[in-house]
Amino acid sequence: MKLKIKTGDTVRIIAGDHKGTEGKVLTVDRIKNKAIIEGANMVSKHEKPSAKNPQGGIVKKESPIHISNLSLIDGKSGDTTRVGFEMRDGKKVRVSKKSNEVI
């Protein structure tokens, strides 16, 4: 299945506890259909002391969110939009359904 959200996109969370939060996509897991959004869906993780973190303790970290709970933000209007695919100049490109422009 082709995912309509890629790393680096700006998205808005449309469902769940963090509804309305906007952020940049850090990573996308194509197998699990999940994405990690910068500054959203923060969870507390307990870390053991290690060479990287000698103190250890509780660390706040982003948790993955299912792709179906995300909506892409259109660059021009700043509003959420659906995504479609079209062939333009011999290339397959992502197109905003609201503004009909290449993303």
pTM assigned to the model? 0.82
Tens of pLDDT, residues 70-95:
999 988 778 999 999 999 999 999 99
Range of the domain at 41: 10-74
Whether residue 100 lies inside any domain: the answer is no
**CATH number (domain holding residue 54):** 2.30.30.30
- Quick: pLDDT tens for 16-48: 899 999 999 999 999 999 999 999 999 999 999
Number of domains in the chain: 1
SS3 per residue for the chain: CCCCCCCCCEEEECCCCCCCCEEEEEEEECCCCEEEECCCCEEEEEECCCCCCCCCEEEEEECCEEHHHEEEECCCCCCEECEEEEEECCEEEEEECCCCCEC
* CA 71 to chain centroid: 8
Number of Cβ within a 10 Å radius of residue 20: 8
